[in-house]
Amino acid sequence: MIERKFVSENLKEYLIKEYVNEVLKRAGQSNVKLKKTPLGEKILITASKPGLVVGRKGENIKLLTTQLKKRFNLENPQIEIEEVQQPDLDPKIVAERIATTLERFGSGRFKSIGHKVLEAIMKAGALGTEILISGKIPSSRAKRWRFYQGYLKKSGHIAKIGVLKAYTVANLKSGTVGIQVRIMPGDVELPDKVELREELETIEESEDIKEEEITKKSDEKSSKKKETKKSEPKSDDSQAKPKKKESKKKKEAKK
């Protein structure tokens, strides 16, 4: 019984997410999260165009809440909207953008669309990107076109955690076209990354200290030399006086 309850709840969450994605497909919707609160279910939607999600005087949100109550038997669904700070680094938004442009202008300009999207992602600060467009483009035979730029991990622990992935579909006259986007953002910490630390400031400080020590030592040596020079003539006079006394005594002895 408990397992069935968990399965039914997870399936309900999945269906709610899919429904919200379909309704807000053109609004730049990125992610949908569900949370249970004492007041009711809380639905958090992140989108690049929150104005389209809200609508005029909140019409779209009101319609969404009423439809969620009817379809999924939610008592009091509370919808919150967050704006995506960098939409060019979100693979879901990028994939939906490519799909909408292909549906609007057709498959004739798919290469220019792919290259423009690549440039926008790299300018946003990504380390590497990859876009795969597979389907009947531009001919009647199905092909896979790959657009890539930068450095992207394909295997290992970082490929699972650090690389962001998204997949969507564009419905064209020739058939359905699959769009897969992979982005590795610039804030990912790579284990094989090596940085050279420059300690120019510490070296300059140590050189200054050495120069000061050398100047102090040279001043001490010069002062010592001056003292020795001053003390030397006094010692000669003291030695000369007893020599004169000895000469007088010798003269008296001779007499």
> Tens digit of pLDDT for each residue in 25-53?
777 788 888 888 888 888 888 888 888 88
Confidence class of residue 180 from pLDDT cuts 50, 70 and 90? Answer: very high
Confidence class of residue 167 from pLDDT cuts 50, 70 and 90? Answer: very high
Any residues with CB less than 8 A from the CB of 164 and at least 6 apart, and which?
89, 90, 91, 182, 183, 184, 185
Share the mean pLDDT of the chain: 80
Written as six digits, the tokens of 191 are 């284990």
Per-residue model confidence (pLDDT) at position 225: 63
Closest CA to 14 of 54, 72, 59, 60: 72
SS3 sequence, the chain?
A: CHHHHHHHHHHHHHHHHHHHHHHCCCCCEEEEEEEECCCCEEEEEEECCHHHHHCHHHHHHHHHHHHHHHHHCCCCCEEEEEECCCHHHCHHHHHHHHHHHHHHHCCCCHHHHHHHHHHHHHHCCEEEEEEEEEECCCCCCCEEEEEEEECCCCCCHHHHHCCEEEEEEEECCCCEEEEEEEEEECCCCCCCCCCCCCCHHHHHHHHHHHHHHHHHHHHHHHHHHHHHHHHHHHHHHHHHHHHHHHHHHHHHHHC
Least confident of 49-58, 155-164, 224-233, 246-255: 246-255
Give the pLDDT confidence of 5-22 residue by residue, as tens digits: 788 888 888 888 888 888
pLDDT of 205 > 80? The answer is: no
Judge contact between 163 and 184, C-beta under 8 A: yes
- Amino acid in position 71: R
Least confident of 67-71, 98-102, 235-239: 235-239
- Amino acid in position 112: S
Give the pLDDT confidence of 90-118 residue by residue, as tens digits: 999 999 999 989 988 888 888 999 999 99
Per-residue model confidence (pLDDT) at position 240: 46
Domains detected in the chain: 2-84 (3.30.300.20), 88-185 (3.30.1140.32)
Distances (CA, A) of 163 to 48, 74, 130, 224: 20, 34, 10, 72
